[in-house]
Chain A
Amino acid sequence: MTEEERSIDDPARLADEARENAQKAATELRAQRVPIETEPPTVFKTD
């Protein structure tokens, strides 16, 4: 493993990045408006 790989694989750095990624995803999701009547999807019905 190279020096660069070691630094990007540092556990503390990874933990920070994972939290930041989750927060970034949440921000992007919340920017999307959804009509109040929209429910989560259900399983496809068959004939």
Chain B
Amino acid sequence: MNESEVRFCTAAELASALRRRRISALELARAYLDLLEELGPKYNAVAALMPERALDEARRADRALAKKDGGPLTGVPYGAKDLLAARGAPTTWGAPPYRDQIFGQDATVVAKLKRSGAVLAAKLAMVELAGGGGYRYPSASLQGPGRNPWNTERWSGGSSSGSGAAVGAGLVPFAIGSETSGSIGTPSAYCGVTGLRPTYGAVSRKGAMALSWTLDKLGPMARTADDCATVLEAIAGADTGDPTASGKRFRPLAARAAASAAKRARIAFAEEDVSEHASPEAKRALEKGVAELRRVAPKFVRATLPAMPFGPMVTTVYSAEGAEIFAELIEGKRFEQLVDARQKAGLRAALEIKARDYLHAMRLRTRLQQAFAAMFRDVDVILSVGRAMTATPITQPLDNPAPPGGPKPPPDKRNLSGPGSGNMGLIAAGNLAGIPAIFFPCGFATDGLPVGLQLVGPPFSEPLLVALASAFQRETDHHLKRPRD
């Protein structure tokens, strides 16, 4: 296999090729390093190439494969969002004040992937400090704005901008992203890749930059739901280094059980998520995607989230926690090095959030968890759009209406709680409740950009979420589409 043949392969396809000796892990690592070096800058996707480490891990993988000792990720290259520590490499958190930061140990996720034989090829770009404080422009990153593989004048999404772009452009078969509130989901939807946000505590956060101790999750982004499952199986589980790690392992459902579960699953859906909230460009493709999912999982019922102020809840929690985490930076001289002026103002203001407001938001999270638990007595998963619109232009402010003549404000900046809002608040609500989600592509909007859906389930329902998305991907080919360079 040559470079052009391996590009856009799934992790499962690469693992098969490695086992059958169609390519060695060393050759594969070199091919992906070349792709990342050549095309990574086009998408501002790469924070740091890892050639020495990648080749070393690839040689180790080849030795394991020669002894028929490998697992499903042995020799498979990947990229890690640059908020994950990798021993000896720069870990910049996407932010100029940390451009020279180097850790002496791998994050637990990176260490677990190393044990599973995966090959770390690159650290991937991200929005500075994962967007804490609230950024205005996609350019809020040490690497510049994440450019979308389907149209480089559009954003790849944030804050896992490099993870989304690199997987979408076929520069790595999978990547690790993180989500505090939307940072796996948005780039997955915008770049046309599959992303899995695990249950809070399912994956250790040790060695990952903290933005919000009670909201941060790490998860895989890949070309298929099955690849996400393979990666999650490798990274989930206990870790004494993270007191919030649940210790629960992840195992995907067996094929027959998965097929049966998909057919039986009760899917909560609110039509207005598409009919009222989707952008004109995205609406048709989202409608078609929902119809295709209905053929795979026919038991649709109407159910909607409780009316709660999800936006104020989630911003109060991550702003208060993030401001405390970065207080020393905010009050020091290096703070001015941050790129985005709105983000700096947001972080400064967050230092003044009152304890009573933070705690009130936290207590409302308990009420929200109770409401979800009640909802999940009647339904198994909740379906909504991944994002209601396609990727925005890289120059468009993310918090404001576009300039005259430009695109209208994003639908998800409107009020997302209460009558008529359907389940449009699902990203914030799902993150507040700590419950898992899978994001997967379902077609293309009239502007040629990908759109996707999300499924959200109760805590530790990842096996069902994967089963549903995998069943969808067996019946459709949206996830196999490739952007042109």
A-to-B contact residues, CB < 8 Å: 2, 4-5, 8-9, 11, 14-15, 17-19, 21-22, 24-26, 28-32, 34, 38-41, 43-47
Other A-B pairs, 12, CB within 8 Å; known A8-B397, A34-B367, A46-B246: A17-B342, A18-B350, A21-B134, A25-B312, A28-B312, A29-B309, A29-B360, A29-B364, A34-B360, A41-B434, A44-B434, A46-B248
By a CB distance below 8 angstroms, the chain A residues around B53 are: none
By a CB distance below 8 angstroms, the chain A residues around B369 are: 41
- Closest-by-CB residue of B relative to A15 is B345
A32 to B308, CA, bound (A): 8
Q: Is B354 an interface residue (CB 8 A)?
A: yes
Q: Is B247 an interface residue (CB 8 A)?
A: yes
User: Could you say which of B364, B367, B400 contacts A8, with CB atoms under 8 Å apart?
Assistant: B400
By a CB distance below 8 angstroms, the chain B residues around A30 are: 357, 360
By a CB distance below 8 angstroms, the chain B residues around A21 are: 134, 315, 346, 349
By a CB distance below 8 angstroms, the chain B residues around A31 are: 309
B-to-A contact residues, CB < 8 Å: 134, 136, 199-201, 214, 243-244, 246-248, 308-309, 311-313, 315-316, 319, 341-342, 344-346, 348-350, 352-354, 357, 359-367, 369, 397, 400, 403, 434, 459-460
By a CB distance below 8 angstroms, the chain B residues around A44 are: 199-201, 246, 434, 459-460
- Closest-by-CB residue of A relative to B349 is A18
13 residue pairs A–B, Cβ–Cβ below 8 Å: A8-B136, A9-B341, A15-B349, A18-B342, A18-B348, A19-B352, A25-B311, A25-B316, A29-B313, A32-B309, A40-B363, A41-B434, A47-B248
A40-B366 contact, Cβ under 8 Å, with A9-B342, A22-B352, A29-B360: yes
User: Are B315 and A25 neighbours in the complex by a CB distance under 8 Å?
Assistant: yes
A24 to B309, CA, bound (A): 11
Q: Shortest Cβ distance from B371 into chain A, in angstroms? A: 12
User: Are A29 and B361 neighbours in the complex by a CB distance under 8 Å?
Assistant: yes
A15 to B330, CA, bound (A): 14
A16 to B366, CA, bound (A): 31
Q: Shortest Cβ distance from A42 into chain B, in angstroms? A: 9
By a CB distance below 8 angstroms, the chain B residues around A24 are: 312
